[in-house]
């Protein structure tokens, strides 16, 4: 009898899961997958994102979940390495059997994962820390892009805003330091394109390898050109090392960098030397609680974390996914989720809007320019 009782419980659980009708969805849970760096030099970025997403999922679950289902997050560390991100994505989909993906990180990792794994498997990914054009193509041009939903502006949007600002201030000698990967190449292309509109070309170009701080050669190349400004398409450790090398060489250009650098981490790395560095941002100011989505984000993290641009972006990614799941109804499927996301045209998240359509995956064109002030404070 005891055996029959256990068998009956198991069968009922299996039936409940089967009736849900989709991989990663049971009558009680929805399993979401995430691959991002939780270790290595980029680890603080991923850790911040994961903390925020877990806090938001907990809030949603405590309020009853979505149509009675609780959200679960399965997060794997890829160390900001493309091969590992691809392998993690494959594990999340094939072994862990997640319903959808959330909050990826990096241009090369996300592009490879999309074209090799989740696009082919038809599993949606909402949000990635990347502004690369490769993940913003229309699904008409790359069918794998149908399953990629961006929530941030592109690197072309960011670099155009930076270049326009520098040119408006009279700068005519603008150099570029870029990371040698999809992120850096996309940013370099954006700077070159934006400069061309003003009949300019970069006064010097140098590169640094991903996950490296070996910038001495790059600094020597750019210092030789004596530029008025340098646009750095790099992450915080390489950015900090480059600024320090340039100052050792008695160079004092206007340093500008893109949103993935992470202002708080750059300040931690550079200290007072960070003052004056300009940063383009693709999210609202995370300390301005007059913006509804920022206020919500601050309430979600409470004292668990300090406000940051990365944290706010993770919150917005998660909120887009949750809103779309709610709109998809009780009978949840991946295709219904895709349809709900594609119906988000000018969708207001509380002072920040995203927009998709069957042929549009840009998400947003929002760009704000900031500068690091005294005491490491980010100023608008």
**Predicted confidence (pLDDT) per residue in 62-110, tens digit:** 999 999 999 999 999 999 999 999 999 999 999 999 999 999 999 999 9
Same-domain pairing of 133 and 238: no
Note whether 330 and 20 are within 8 A (CB).
Answer: no
Residue 373 located in a structural domain = no
Same-domain pairing of 149 and 29: yes
Quick check: helix, strand or coil at residue 365?
coil
Q: How far apart are CA 19 and CA 57, in angstroms?
A: 24
Rounded to a whole number of angstroms, the CA Rg of the chain reads 22
Same-domain pairing of 160 and 148: no
Which among 283, 264, 282 has a CA at the least distance from the CA of 350? Answer: 283
24: left (phi over 0), alpha (psi -120 to 50) or beta: left
Same-domain pairing of 146 and 256: no
Same-domain pairing of 277 and 295: no
Which regions in the chain score pLDDT beneath 70? Answer: 1-20
Q: What share of the chain is helix, strand, coil (3-state, %, to 5)?
A: 50, 20, 30
Residues 6+ apart with CB under 8 A from 119: 142, 143, 144, 145, 146, 147, 148
Which of 232, 262, 281 is the endpoint of a domain? 281
Same-domain pairing of 330 and 216: no
Q: How far apart are CA 125 and CA 112, in angstroms?
A: 13
Q: What is the pLDDT of residue 33?
A: 98
Note whether 339 and 246 are within 8 A (CB).
Answer: no
Q: What is the pLDDT of residue 18?
A: 41
Note whether 163 and 213 are within 8 A (CB).
Answer: no
| Tally of structural domains, the chain | 2
Same-domain pairing of 117 and 242: no
Q: How many residues does the chain have?
A: 380
Same-domain pairing of 293 and 149: yes
Tens of pLDDT along 143-196? 999 999 999 999 999 999 999 999 999 999 999 999 999 999 999 999 999 999
Tell me the residue range of the domain where 34 lies.
Answer: 2-153+289-363
Backbone angles phi, psi at 22, to 5 degrees: -150, 145
Note whether 146 and 123 are within 8 A (CB).
Answer: no
What tokens appear for 141 in the block?
């041009």
CATH code, domain carrying 101: 3.40.50.2300
Angle, vertex CA 239, rays to CA 237 and CA 245, nearest 5 = 105
Backbone angles phi, psi at 352, to 5 degrees: -140, 130
Give kind and range of the element (H or E) at residue 274.
none
Backbone angles phi, psi at 98, to 5 degrees: -75, 155
The pTM of the full predicted model, rounded to 2 decimals, is 0.91
Same-domain pairing of 40 and 55: yes
Q: What is the pLDDT of residue 303?
A: 87
Residue 368 located in a structural domain = no
Q: How far apart are CA 306 and CA 303, in angstroms?
A: 7
Cα atoms in the Cβ-side hemisphere of radius 13 Å centred on 239: 32
Residue ranges of alpha helices (H) inside 21-175 are: 43-62, 82-90, 107-113, 119-121, 155-168
Angle, vertex CA 377, rays to CA 374 and CA 380, nearest 5 = 105
Q: How far apart are CA 232 and CA 235, in angstroms?
A: 9
Angle, vertex CA 374, rays to CA 372 and CA 376, nearest 5 = 55
Strands (E), the chain: 29-36, 70-77, 100-105, 125-129, 148-149, 174-179, 205-208, 229-233, 254-257, 278-281, 347-348, 353-357, 360-363, 368-372, 378-379
């Amino acid at each position: 009898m005891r055996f029959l009782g256990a068998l009956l419980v198991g069968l009922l659980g299996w039936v409940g899961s089967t009736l849900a009708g989709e991989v990663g969805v049971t009558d009680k849970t929805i399993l979401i997958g995430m691959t991002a760096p939780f270790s290595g030099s980029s680890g603080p970025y991923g850790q911040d994102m994961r903390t925020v997403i877990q806090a938001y999922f907990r809030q949603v679950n405590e309020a009853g979940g979505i149509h009675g289902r609780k959200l679960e997050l399965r997060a794997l560390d890829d160390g900001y390495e493309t091969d590992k991100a691809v392998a993690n994505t494959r594990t999340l989909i094939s072994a862990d059997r997640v319903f959808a993906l959330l909050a990826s990180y990096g241009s090369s990792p996300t592009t490879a994962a999309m074209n090799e794994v989740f696009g082919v498997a038809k599993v949606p990914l909402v949000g990635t820390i990347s502004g690369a054009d490769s993940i913003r193509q229309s699904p008409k041009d790359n069918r794998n892009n149908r399953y990629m939903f961006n929530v941030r502006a592109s690197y072309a949007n960011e670099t155009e805003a930076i270049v326009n600002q520098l040119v408006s201030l009279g700068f005519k000698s603008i150099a570029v330091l870029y990371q040698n990967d999809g992120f850096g190449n996309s940013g370099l292309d954006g700077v070159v394109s934006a400069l061309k509109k003003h009949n300019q070309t970069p006064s010097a170009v140098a590169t640094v390898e991903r996950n490296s701080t070996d910038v001495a050669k790059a600094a020597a190349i750019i210092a030789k050109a004596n530029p008025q400004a340098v646009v750095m398409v790099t992450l915080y450790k390489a950015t900090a090392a480059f600024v320090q090398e340039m100052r050792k060489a008695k160079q004092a250009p206007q340093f500008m960098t893109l949103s993935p650098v992470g202002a708080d981490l750059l300040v931690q790395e550079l200290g007072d030397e960070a003052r004056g560095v300009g940063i383009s941002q693709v999210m609202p100011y995370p300390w301005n609680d007059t913006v509804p989505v920022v206020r919500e984000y601050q309430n979600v993290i409470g004292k668990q974390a300090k406000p940051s641009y990365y944290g706010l972006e993770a919150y917005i990614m998660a909120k887009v996914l949750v809103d779309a799941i709610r709109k998809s109804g009780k009978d949840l499927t991946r295709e219904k989720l895709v349809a709900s996301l594609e119906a988000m045209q000018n969708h207001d998240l509380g002072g920040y809007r995203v927009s998709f359509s069957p042929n549009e995956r840009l998400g947003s064109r929002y760009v704000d320019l900031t500068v690091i002030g005294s005491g490491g404070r980010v100023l608008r």
